[in-house]
Amino acid sequence: MPMDVRRGKTPAMVRQARWGHLLVDTLRRAAMAPAALGHGVVPRPVSRPGTRQTLAAWHSLGTQRPSTARGQGVERVLRARARHGVGPRPDRSEPGACQRRPQPSPHLRVPRQQARARLATAA
């Protein structure tokens, strides 16, 4: 789930969702780096969506295998993760702004107290 879409209504739930997102992202990166380095690939071009798909597929298949075959499965997953790379993109340029869904009002860029004071003086 993207970080700009939050379902929590209270500050505590938003904090919990943010920490959960960071934890999952850290675990995914921790799975990518040893897989790439163990197979002689630099970790940076390894695909994050490819890693997510590989881990999801392995999780569903790994529970169905006997424990003796899981060791071979782990080696296959590491090899598959190292192969999921991002191709060369020489003309790629990143946009300066993030795309978001259309909102009915602009984003609040100042503290709420200041925004209320501006509205009170404008009216």
Domain boundary assignment for the chain: 7-86
CA–CA separation, 122 and 110 (whole Å): 16
Quickly state the pLDDT bin for 114 (edges 50, 70, 90). very high
The average pLDDT across 78-99 equals: 68
Does 104 score more than 60 pLDDT?
yes
Q: What distance in Å separates the CA atoms of residue 84 and residue 47, rounded to the nearest whole number?
A: 6
Q: Token pair for residue 56?
A: 């999801």
End-to-end CA distance of the chain: 40
47 vs 5: CA distance, rounded Å = 23
pTM of the shown model: 0.49
| 33 CA to centre of own chain | 15
Is pLDDT of 121 > 80?
Answer: yes
